[in-house]
Amino acid sequence: MAGYVNGGGVAGTADLTPQTQDFNNVNSITVSHTLGYYPSVWIVLSTGVCIDAAISFSSGSFTISLSENLSGTVYYR
């Protein structure tokens, strides 16, 4: 756990461990979450390469659009 100061100026702690969702041979991934904000997202292919992709955010979810069918893991926090 790492320390942080929230917007109200009150010191606290936050678990910065990312959540994950695996994907297999797809070109679109929708991830539902209960974080209450638009998370930071990393997309790591099964080969270990981190890639950029188009991400659309909405309340409680986000959708990743890939240029071709790929496999890997989405990390978000």
Q: 50-64 burial string, b = 16+ CB within 10 Å, else e?
A: eeeeebeeeeeebeb
pLDDT at 14 over 90: no
Task: State the Cα–Cα distance between residues 57 and 37, nearest whole angstrom.
Answer: 10
Spatial CB neighbours of 17, under 8 Å, sequence gap ≥ 6: 77
Per-residue confidence band for 10, with pLDDT thresholds at 50, 70 and 90 = low
Q: What is the mean pLDDT of residues 29-38?
A: 96
pLDDT of residue 16: 85
The percentage of residues in the chain with a pLDDT greater than 90, rounded to a whole number, is 79
DSSP code of residue 17: P
Residue of 32 and 15 predicted with greater confidence: 32
